[in-house]
Amino acid sequence: MTIGELQKLNILEVVNAGEEPERELKGVFCCDLLSVAMGRGQEDAVWVTVMGNINTLAVMSLTDMACIVLAEGAVMDEAGMTKARQQGIPVFRTENPIFETALLLYRWIKEGNGAAVTENTGAEV
């Protein structure tokens, strides 16, 4: 699944669309601690986190992760928004919990269908 296709699914709110809609997503990564993300974040992964600041964006681009999904209703702060726009970094958000969000994305990315997750967890998407 590409970033553009993820956007079209309409399961996440688009904060900043970014400039690479054709970039292929290959996995999902979860952790809010930047050093852990730095060491373990995989190339082309979607990073589901609650940390919406400029440092998240720096770690994301240094590790070559593909986009950020802010879960649990987290928001990107103002400096982060400016940087995301300047550098064309894709950022999405959702009110749903991290686990459900990551599972849903995993199903879509790895299996091409996340509909069952929505039913089982009752997540409003």
The site for other proteins (CB under 8 A) is made up of: 32-36, 38-39, 43, 51, 53-56, 58-59, 61-64, 79, 83
Q: What are phi and psi of 91, to 5 degrees?
A: -135, 130
Residue 59 or 69 with smaller CB distance to other proteins? 59
CB of 49 to other proteins, least distance (A): 8
b or e along 79-118 (b: 16 or more beta carbons within 10 Å of the residue's beta carbon)?
A: ebbebbeeeebbbbbbebbbebbbbbbbbbbeeeebeebb
Q: Tally Cβ neighbours within 10 Å of residue 26.
A: 15
CB of 47 to other proteins, least distance (A): 12
Distance (Å, whole) CA 31 – CA 33 = 6
Residue 38 or 125 with smaller CB distance to other proteins? 38
CB of 1 to other proteins, least distance (A): 22
Residue 62 or 116 with smaller CB distance to other proteins? 62
